[in-house]
Amino acid sequence: MTKPQPYRRETTDRAPEAQADGFATVRLAHESEMAEDYVELIAELIETRGEARPVDIAERLGVKPPTVTKNVSRLETVGLVRREPYRSIFLTETGQELAEACKRRHRIVVAFLLSLGIDEETAERDAEGIEHHVSDATLAAFERRLERE
């Protein structure tokens, strides 16, 4: 019996435009990661604790409260959250829609990684990065594969 060969990607000289598009896509995903992480966490905190306090966000993200204040101000500027004096942070309708889309992407990526035999802790951790970079086409392929199982 022959031993299966490890996966080897053929090296090709890609067109500069195609390579530039790939890098641009990654840069754009990095720019939206913070917003996605925050709205997803805010939605989770509201769902599990009834409120999203800056101190809880800072603790969960492993950042200092001033960082949360700065980033929440950015999210408020782009219409994803709203704050009221001496109250928690709330998602706007747009923020809630983004949080739901992020949660869905996260669940699909985790389920796909679990289907590959990845342990739950690793799947959750890896999904945090993958979910921001996975294309709609790849996510749909993950879903199709999961539906066949």
Which residue range forms the structural domain that includes residue 116? Answer: 19-148
4 domain-assigned: no
Mention every residue, 6+ apart, whose C-beta is less than 8 A from residue 74: 34, 35
Q: pTM, whole model, 2 decimals?
A: 0.75
**Residue 2 pLDDT greater than 80, yes or no:** no
In a domain? residue 9: no
Judge whether 117 lies within some domain: yes
Assigned domain for 6 exists: no
Does a structural domain hold residue 29? yes
pLDDT on residue 14:
67
Retrieve residue 82's tokens: 């709203």
Number of neighbouring beta carbons within 10 Å of residue 107: 12
Note the pLDDT of residue 95. Answer: 96
Residue 55 has pLDDT above 50, yes or no: yes
Confidence of residue 79 (pLDDT cuts 50, 70, 90): very high
Q: Is residue 95 part of a domain?
A: yes
How many C-beta neighbours within 10 Å does residue 43 have?
19
Using pLDDT thresholds of 50, 70 and 90, give the confidence band for residue 29: very low
Domain annotation covers residue 2: no
Q: Identify the CATH number of the domain in which residue 90 sits.
A: 1.10.10.10
In the chain, the number of structural domains is: 1
Average pLDDT over residues 90-119: 95
Domain membership of residue 104 (yes or no) is: yes
